C-alpha cells in the first residue's frame, strides 16, 4: 500500500484595524503543530513590519507590538498552523477613558454575549477573585484573577478595569503576568494569585503598589510567597520583588499562605493580612511595616484571628476595613474572609464571614460575627475605604460549582457599601446602581396586587415595601430552565433555587430575618437580594444566561405595601 503525502491546506486568517500612531497591541499565539514554528505577519498600509513567531505548542505566548505610525494594520496567519487566543489594541494615553479594543478572540475564551447584562464580566477568559480594588489617580480600579485563554481556571494573571461610578467599567490591558516559567504551560501550576493594592503618592502623581501571592505548585519549601510591584502608568506592573519569602515559623501552618491584603492601621502603619491554615482550621496572619512605601520591612506581628467552624480549611482573601465614623477609641473594624471548604447545616459551601471588633493595630478583639451573604455566591469579598466610606465587591460564584471540565463564565457582584449601625453590618449596593433604572415596568401596584408581571429581558430591579417587618410573602420568578423564588416567613428570608436536575440545593436562608424593605436585582446569571438596605444580603449565581421571564406573588398579597419594578440598563 502506498500513502500519498498530504499537505494541510493553509487557511489564511486576517485581522484588520485602523489604528493611531502609538497604539500598543497585545496578542497571544501558539503553534498548532509540534516542532513547527507558528507565524503571524504584521503589515501596516500594505508594508510588512515584522513576523511574529513562536514554537510553543502547549500554551499561548505573549507578544507586544507598538505602532510607531498610524494606519491600516493587518495581522495575518495560517489558522491551520497558528492558534491565536486574543488580540487587543490600546493607546496608552487614552486607554483609561476608552478601554482596550479587542480585535480578535477565540471560541474558547469568548465571554457570553449578554448585551443587557449590567454586572462586571471580563472581556474574554476566566475570572475569579477581585484584587487590588481601590481608587488610584481619581478612578476606581478593579483587578481580578484572570486566565485569558479559556473560560476555566488556569495559570493566573491579573485582569484590570477602571470605573468612575462603580457601575460602568472600561477594560484595561492585562496588568500582571505569571512568571516566564509558569507561562510555558497551561497546567495550572500557579501564577499571580490574589492580592491588594495601595496608592503611592509620588510627587503629585499617584502610583499603584500591588501585593500578591506567587503560587508555584510543588515548589520547595514554599509554594506560596508574597510579591510586590509598582505601576507608574496604571497600566502595567513593573518587575516584582519578593517581600515575604516564607511562612512565619512555629505555627505549624500548612502550605497555605496567600492573598496579602494591605491597609492603613489605626497607628498609621501599613498592615498586611494573609490567609492561612493549621491543623485546627483557618487563620488570618497580621504583618506590618514602618516603610511608608510598603516596599520593605514587613514583619510578622502574630495571628490576628482564627476560625475553625464548618469544617473549613484555609482562610482566604482576608480583608479589613474601619467602620462608621466613631473616634479612635470607639472605632470598630470589620474583618471579612472566605471560609474555604466550609459547609453549614443547610448545605451552603465556602461561606464568607464578617467579624466586627476593635483593632489597635496589633490585636483584634472580636465582638460579633455574622454571615456576609446568605446566598453564599459572593466570595473573596474585597473592600477599601473610598473617601471615608468602605466599599467592596466579590466574585459572584462559588468554588463548589466549578468543574475543571466545564466552561464557567462568571461575573462580579454589584459593588456594595459596608455599613455599621452599632449592632450589625449592612452591605447595600453602591448608590451608583440607582442610575441603572432605565424604564419603569411597574409603578402602579400590579405586582403587589398579585398580577403576573413580565420582566422583559430579565435585567430588572424589584423594590418591595412590606406592610410590617417580616410580613410573609413569596415571589415566584418564571424561568424556562430553573426554579427560583424569594420567600419571607417566620424562618427568615430565603432564595429558593432549584436547577431541575433532581439534585438537592442548599437552603439559602437568612435565618430570622424580618426586613421591611427588599431590593432584588436580577440579571442574566444572577440574583442579588438586599433586605433592609443590605442588613441581609443574598447573592446567588444562576447556572443559565436566560433572563427571568416574569414575577408573581404566589403568597402574601396583603404583605406588600408597595412594589416598583425597573428595567435596568447600563
Ligand atoms: C480564592 C482563591 C485565593 C487564591 C485565588 C487563586 O478564590 O483560592 O485564595 O489566591 O483564588 O485564583
Q: Where are the domains of the chain?
A: 12-90, 106-426, 434-568
Give the whole-angstrom CA distance, residue 229 versus residue 404: 30
Give the whole-angstrom CA distance, residue 44 versus residue 18: 9
Helix, strand or coil, per DSSP, at residue 98: helix
First-to-last CA distance in the chain?
Answer: 65
CATH number of this structure's domain 434-568, picked from the four choices 2.60.120.560, 2.40.50.1020, 3.30.70.1060, 3.30.360.10: 2.60.120.560
Question: One fold for both 12-90 and 434-568?
Answer: yes
pLDDT at 2: 46
Q: What is the mean pLDDT of each run of 10 residues along the chain (570 residues)?
A: 61 96 98 96 97 97 97 97 98 97 97 93 98 96 98 98 98 97 96 97 85 98 98 96 98 98 97 97 98 96 97 97 84 97 97 97 97 98 96 98 95 98 97 97 92 96 97 97 97 97 94 98 98 98 96 92 96
CATH of domain 106-426: 2.115.10.20
Helix, strand, coil shares of the chain as percentages rounded to 5? 5, 50, 45
CATH number of this structure's domain 12-90, picked from the four choices 2.60.40.290, 3.40.50.300, 2.30.30.40, 2.60.120.260: 2.60.120.260
Q: How far is the CA of 5 from the centre of ligand 1 (A)?
A: 49
pLDDT at 4: 52
The CB density around residue 69, as the number of other CB atoms within 10 Å, is: 12
Which neighbouring-strand residues pair with 485?
Answer: 476, 496
> Is residue 145 in contact with ligand 1, taking CB distance under 6 Å?
yes
Residue 293 is placed in which grid cell? Answer: 512605601
Give the whole-angstrom CA distance, residue 177 versus residue 174: 7
Greatest Cα pair distance, the chain, in angstroms, is 90
Q: The cell 415571589 sits on which residue?
A: 475
Give the whole-angstrom CA distance, residue 440 versus residue 446: 12
Residue 181, sorted as left (phi over 0), alpha (psi -120 to 50) or beta, turns out to be alpha
* Residue 82 host element (H or E): strand 82-90
Q: Is 480 exposed, middle or buried (0-12, 13-18, 19+ CB in 10 A)?
A: exposed
> Is residue 213 in contact with ligand 1, taking CB distance under 6 Å?
yes
pLDDT at 7: 66
DSSP letters along 10-26, please? P-EEEEEEEE-TT-EEE
Give the whole-angstrom CA distance, residue 62 versus residue 113: 25
DSSP letters along 340-409, please? TT-B-TT--BS-EEEEEEEE-SS-EEEEEEEES-TT---EEEEEEEETTEEEEEEESS-GGG--TTS---
Which pairs count as long-range contacts for 276-280, CB under 8 Å and 24+ apart, including other chains? 276/247, 276/251, 276/314, 276/315, 277/253, 277/313, 277/314, 277/315, 278/251, 278/252, 278/253, 278/254, 279/252, 280/306, 280/308
Ligand 1 atom nearest residue 193's Cα = 10
pLDDT at 147: 98
Contact 314, 291 (CB under 8 A): no
Q: Whose CA is nearest to atom 9 of ligand 1?
A: 316
Residue 329 is placed in which grid cell? Answer: 477609641
* Residue 203 host element (H or E): none
Give the whole-angstrom CA distance, residue 366 versus residue 388: 22
Contact 382, 390 (CB under 8 A): no
Ligand 1 atom nearest residue 395's Cα = 7
**321 CB-side CA count, 13 A:** 26
Contact 467, 560 (CB under 8 A): yes
pLDDT at 6: 58
> Is residue 129 in contact with ligand 1, taking CB distance under 6 Å?
yes
> Is residue 528 in contact with ligand 1, taking CB distance under 6 Å?
no
Q: The cell 501599613 sits on which residue?
A: 270
> Is residue 154 in contact with ligand 1, taking CB distance under 6 Å?
no
Helix, strand or coil, per DSSP, at residue 309: helix
Q: How far is the CA of 51 from the centre of ligand 1 (A)?
A: 37
Helix, strand or coil, per DSSP, at residue 558: helix
β-pairing verdict for 205-216 and 190-202: antiparallel
**378 CB-side CA count, 13 A:** 33
With vertex at residue 145, the alpha carbon angle to CA 88 and CA 274, rounded to the nearest 5 degrees, is: 150
> Is residue 224 in contact with ligand 1, taking CB distance under 6 Å?
no
Q: Which of 147, 182, 257, 258 to mutate to test the pocket of ligand 1 (most atoms within 8 A of CB)?
A: 258
How far are the Cα atoms of 419, 433, 460 from residue 430, in angstroms, in the given order?
11, 6, 16
Q: What are phi and psi of 24, to 5 degrees?
A: -105, 140
Residue 254 is placed in which grid cell? Answer: 500548612
Provide the strand spans (E) within 455-491: 460-466, 473-478, 483-489
Q: Prior bond to 377 cis, omega within 30?
A: no
Contact 206, 195 (CB under 8 A): no
Q: Can you list the alpha helix ranges (DSSP code H) found in 52-118?
A: 95-98
The CB density around residue 306, as the number of other CB atoms within 10 Å, is: 14
Contact 212, 194 (CB under 8 A): yes
Give the whole-angstrom CA distance, residue 357 versus residue 365: 5
Q: The dihedral of CA 395, 376, 320, 298: what is its sign?
A: negative
Ligand 1 atom nearest residue 215's Cα = 10
Q: The cell 468543574 sits on which residue?
A: 403
Amino acid at each position: 500500500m502506498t500513502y500519498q503525502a498530504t499537505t494541510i491546506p493553509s487557511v489564511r486568517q486576517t485581522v484588520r484595524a485602523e489604528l493611531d500612531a502609538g497604539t500598543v497591541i497585545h496578542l497571544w499565539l501558539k503553534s498548532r503543530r509540534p516542532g513547527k514554528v507558528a507565524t503571524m505577519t504584521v503589515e501596516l498600509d500594505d508594508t510588512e513590519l515584522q513576523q511574529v513567531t513562536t514554537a510553543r505548542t502547549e500554551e499561548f505566548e505573549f507578544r507586544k507590538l507598538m505602532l510607531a505610525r498610524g494606519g491600516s494594520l493587518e495581522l495575518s496567519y495560517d489558522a491551520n498552523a497558528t492558534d491565536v487566543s486574543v488580540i487587543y489594541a490600546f493607546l496608552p494615553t487614552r486607554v483609561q477613558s476608552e478601554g482596550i479594543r479587542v480585535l480578535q478572540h477565540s471560541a474558547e475564551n469568548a465571554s457570553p454575549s449578554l448585551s443587557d447584562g449590567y454586572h462586571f464580566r471580563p472581556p474574554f477568559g476566566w475570572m475569579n477573585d477581585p484584587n487590588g480594588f481601590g481608587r488610584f489617580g481619581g478612578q476606581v480600579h478593579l483587578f481580578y484573577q484572570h486566565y485569558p485563554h479559556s473560560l476555566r481556571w488556569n495559570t493566573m494573571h491579573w485582569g484590570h478595569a477602571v470605573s468612575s461610578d462603580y457601575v460602568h467599567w472600561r477594560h484595561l490591558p492585562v496588568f500582571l503576568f505569571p512568571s516566564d516559567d509558569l507561562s510555558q504551560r497551561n497546567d495550572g501550576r500557579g501564577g499571580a494569585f490574589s492580592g491588594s493594592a495601595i496608592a503611592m503618592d509620588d510627587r503629585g502623581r499617584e502610583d499603584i503598589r500591588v501585593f500578591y501571592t506567587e503560587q508555584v505548585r510543588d515548589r520547595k519549601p514554599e509554594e506560596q510567597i508574597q510579591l510586590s510591584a509598582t505601576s507608574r502608568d496604571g497600566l502595567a506592573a513593573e518587575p516584582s520583588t519578593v517581600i515575604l519569602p516564607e511562612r512565619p515559623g512555629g505555627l505549624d501552618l500548612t502550605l497555605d499562605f496567600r492573598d496579602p491584603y494591605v491597609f492603613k492601621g489605626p497607628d498609621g502603619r501599613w498592615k498586611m493580612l494573609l490567609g492561612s491554615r493549621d491543623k485546627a482550621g483557618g487563620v488570618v496572619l497580621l504583618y506590618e511595616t514602618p516603610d511608608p512605601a510598603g516596599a520593605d520591612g514587613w514583619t510578622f506581628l502574630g495571628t490576628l484571628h482564627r476560625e475553625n467552624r464548618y469544617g473549613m480549611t484555609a482562610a482566604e482573601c482576608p480583608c479589613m476595613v474601619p467602620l462608621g465614623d466613631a473616634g479612635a477609641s470607639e472605632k470598630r473594624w470589620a474583618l471579612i474572609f472566605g471560609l474555604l471548604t466550609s459547609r453549614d447545616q443547610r448545605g451552603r459551601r465556602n461561606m464568607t464571614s464578617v467579624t466586627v471588633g476593635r483593632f489597635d493595630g496589633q490585636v483584634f478583639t472580636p465582638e460579633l460575627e455574622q454571615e456576609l451573604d446568605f446566598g453564599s455566591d459572593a466570595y473573596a469579598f474585597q473592600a477599601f475605604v473610598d473617601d471615608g466610606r468602605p466599599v467592596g465587591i466579590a466574585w459572584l460564584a462559588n468554588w463548589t460549582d466549578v468543574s475543571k471540565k466545564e466552561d464557567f463564565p462568571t461575573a462580579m457582584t454589584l459593588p456594595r457599601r459596608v455599613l455599621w449601625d452599632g449592632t450589625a453590618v449592612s452591605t447595600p449596593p453602591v448608590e451608583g446602581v440607582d442610575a441603572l433604572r432605565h424604564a419603569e415596568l411597574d409603578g402602579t401596584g400590579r405586582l403587589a396586587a398579585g398580577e403576573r408581571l413580565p420582566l422583559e429581558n430579565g435585567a430588572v430591579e424589584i423594590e418591595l415595601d412590606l406592610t410590617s417587618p417580616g410580613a410573609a410573602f413569596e415571589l415566584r420568578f418564571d424561568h424556562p430552565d430553573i426554579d427560583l423564588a424569594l420567600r419571607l416567613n417566620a424562618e427568615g428570608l430565603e432564595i429558593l433555587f432549584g436547577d431541575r436536575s433532581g439534585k438537592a440545593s442548599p437552603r439559602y436562608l437568612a435565618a430570622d430575618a424580618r426586613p421591611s424593605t427588599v431590593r432584588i436585582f436580577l440579571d442574566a446569571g444572577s440574583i442579588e437580594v438586599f433586605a433592609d438596605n443590605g442588613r441581609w444580603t443574598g447573592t446567588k449565581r444562576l447556572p443559565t444566561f436566560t433572563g427571568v421571564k416574569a414575577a408573581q406573588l404566589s403568597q402574601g398579597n396583603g404583605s406588600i405595601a408597595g412594589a416598583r419594578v425597573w428595567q435596568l440598563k447600563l
